[in-house]
Structure 1
Amino acid sequence: MVRTLGPTYGMQSEIVMLRWMFAAVLAIGLTFGRSAHAETFRLNYEAAVLGVVVLGEASYEVTSTPTRYAVRANIRTSGAARIFDQTEITATAAGELNEAAINWARYDISHAYSGKFRRTQMTRSASGLAATISPNYRDLGSPPASDAQRRGSYDPLTGVFALGRQVGINRACRGSVLVFDGRSHYRLAVAPRAETTFNGGGYNGPALHCDFRYEPISGFSSNFNRSNVPSAQAWFALPAQPGFAAPLRITVPTPVGAAQLDIRSYQRS
């Protein structure tokens, strides 16, 4: 029941987990693949704790061709979570695709939360990576992300796009990517658990059940407790042929039970 999630412990813990899940889901929005022609995917997710207390919603519109991709995402808190934390995130990313590489070019995220607002814009070219952040972070972490780490990473959306390609091409929970979000540098990685089936949100078929890890590297505050980062689980649709694996569910443990992000509708055109 909602009253078990008091703001002094339970609900605040859920908000932290919700933001962590949102960071992952922003990236996950891109893991739907491309064909010989342009494709558009319209996806909706819902986040809840204990399967009943709604925390937030996410919607995505993803378009890809054999040579380019673009995605728009919107995420907001809702239900019980909105009483304690009003978060809304709008993000876009775009870049080029080829058989050998994913080359991201632009990333733009606007994040409104608890009466505050921040916008991060990043562009990537042959000359390097440029970031405009307003307002800028007063603390860039201890240690801050280095230039080499910034240049050698994906933006958050493209990062899990690349991870999804690894999962789908391998047809197994294997792969990892490096990500830079304007401040933090981290690794997203999957490891195998089991092959299973999934029925929900418009998908009914074989799936991969993976361990999903968020591994902080640099650009985090000195008091950030890395040992408290939870180990999540993720389900990906298993493609009939080696290719892209579509994310279906993420679960994250919390002090009062599992917070879960589930696909609620899936449209492809």
Structure 2
Amino acid sequence: MALRRPLAAAVFLALALPAGLLLAPREQEARAALPNQAVLTYDLRLGGFDIGRAEVSVALPPSVAEGPYRISADVAASGMLSVFTDFRSSAATDGALAGATVRPRLHEVANVWRGETRQVRLAYDETAPMPEALVEPPPEADEREPVDPAETVGSVDPLSGALQLVADGDGEAGPVKIFDGRRLYTLALDDPEPASVSVRGFTGPALRADLRYERLGGASRKWDSRKEATASVTLAPPAALGLPVAVPLRVVVPTTGFGGFIIELAEVRTGTPG
């Protein structure tokens, strides 16, 4: 069961993660109109073993200062982990950037864990201070401390929060307040330093920074989850991979007894619709 937390970390820490969420035709047309598009594929490893793969699709406006964005992501267990679980996670977000600040509109997640379907829908309205959340199973049935809706004021969804962290591209951002429907937490990037990196999807100069997580609410009564954690993240600079934002190349999450959880870029497919 301890494997569940590292795999879930991919969603929080890898900009990450739709095996089944489909955009309506009008939203597909809107996505096609966005010029900066890429599909990023990540390998997930724990203790040197392949345990999963994530595919993140990003569509951004001409400038991160203004315009709509859409992000979707799939993550699924593979390798050693797939022997023990059928874990799959699908997520999709659309929103708009205003003054380089994310303004999410809708965030949807569908997960499968040990045959159980788990869903989240967060709807945002400019006239409301907090998102409207539909969560299944609810916190009480999930043995989780509920988050007071008032505490979610000013929060964004995980994918929008990840975009906010990399929008400036300088390795320093946040803290960003994030509510995923079950947990309330902050993520921040700090202590950036120059680095050189070589992964299958990129070779060249980059930035290495600390990614800091702090849980504010929604602790599980079943899992001994940490209140604070720090990961190391390596970022490709803006435009290096065809997007106007920094792109995570490698994320290393320290774990106890597993030798570290690593998320690493494996492939990049970019393109501008014609």
Q: Same fold judged by TM-score > 0.5? A: yes
Shorter chain as denominator, the TM-score bin is 0.7 to 0.9
Change (3 A) 1:186 1:83: same
For structure 1, the 5+ residue unaligned runs are 1-11, 30-35
Match of 2:120 in 1: 120
Alignment of 1:1-269 (within 5 A): 12-25=1-14, 27-28=15-16, 38-51=35-48, 53-66=49-62, 67-128=67-128, 129-138=131-140, 141-142=144-145, 144-166=146-168, 168=169, 171-192=170-191, 194-221=193-220, 225=224, 227=226, 229-239=228-238, 244-254=245-255, 255-269=257-271
| Offset at residue 235 of structure 1 (A) | 0.7
CA distance in 2, matches of 1:18, 1:201: 21
TM-score normalized by the length of structure 1: 0.82
CA distance in 1, matches of 2:199, 2:220: 39
| Offset at residue 105 of structure 1 (A) | 0.3
Counterpart of 1:257, as a letter, is: G
| Offset at residue 134 of structure 1 (A) | 2.7
CA distance in 2, matches of 1:136, 1:268: 38
How many pairs align? 245
CA contact (8 A) 2:214 2:229 kept: no
CA contact (8 A) 2:10 2:16 kept: no
CA distance in 2, matches of 1:163, 1:195: 18
For structure 2, the 5+ residue unaligned runs are 18-32
TM-score normalized by the length of structure 2: 0.81
| Offset at residue 147 of structure 1 (A) | 2.8
Report Cα offsets for 1:202-261 as digits up to 9, x if no partner. Answer: 2222111111122100122357646575421111112379x6211111111221311211
CA contact (8 A) 1:173 1:209 kept: no
CA distance in 2, matches of 1:177, 1:224: 24
Q: Tell me the SS of whatever aligns to 2:164.
A: helix
Q: Tell me the SS of whatever aligns to 1:236.
A: strand
| Offset at residue 15 of structure 1 (A) | 3.5
Task: Report the more deviating stretch, 183-192 or 197-206.
Answer: 197-206
Change (3 A) 1:229 1:146: same
CA RMSD for the aligned pairs?
2.4
Report Cα offsets for 1:144-199 as digits up to 9, x if no partner. Answer: 32333323101011011101114x1xx23343211001121000112215311122
State, as a whole percentage, how many aligned pairs show the same letter. Answer: 27
CA distance in 2, matches of 1:194, 1:65: 28
Q: Tell me the SS of whatever aligns to 1:160.
A: helix
CA distance in 2, matches of 1:115, 1:240: 40
CA contact (8 A) 1:152 1:178 kept: yes
Match of 1:7 in 2: none
Greater share of helix: 1
Change (3 A) 1:137 1:189: same
